[in-house]
């Protein structure tokens, strides 16, 4: 950043323009890296997996709860 300011102050516009392009490239690369997911799968995959595991348990527990509520 300091070199860019020095080039602008010295009116070395071709050098400043090149440095500006380098800076824009670095900022663009940073933005792309910031948007990359950190997990090897999407969030929907984890929710689907959890639902797949919970559904049989729920289906098993509902009839047992209904039986407990019924009078003998």
pLDDT per position as a tens digit, 29-69: 999 999 888 878 887 888 888 889 999 999 999 998 888 88
Q: Are residues 30 and 45 in the same domain?
A: no
Find the domain containing 18 and state its range: 1-36
Contact 19, 4 (CB under 8 A): yes
Into how many domains does the chain fold? 2
Q: Are residues 31 and 54 in the same domain?
A: no
Provide the whole-model pTM: 0.47
Q: Are residues 6 and 26 in the same domain?
A: yes
Q: Are residues 71 and 45 in the same domain?
A: yes
Whose structure tokens read 């999407």? 42
Contact 40, 56 (CB under 8 A): no
Q: Are residues 19 and 46 in the same domain?
A: no
Q: Are residues 45 and 63 in the same domain?
A: yes
């Amino acid at each position: 950043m300091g070199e860019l300011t020095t080039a602008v102050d010295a009116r070395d516009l071709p050098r400043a323009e090149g440095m500006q392009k380098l800076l824009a490239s670095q900022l663009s690369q940073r933005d792309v890296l910031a948007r990359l997911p950190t997990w090897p799968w999407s969030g929907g995959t984890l929710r689907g997996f959890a639902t797949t595991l919970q559904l049989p348990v729920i289906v098993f527990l509902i009839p047992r709860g209904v039986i407990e509520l019924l009078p003998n």
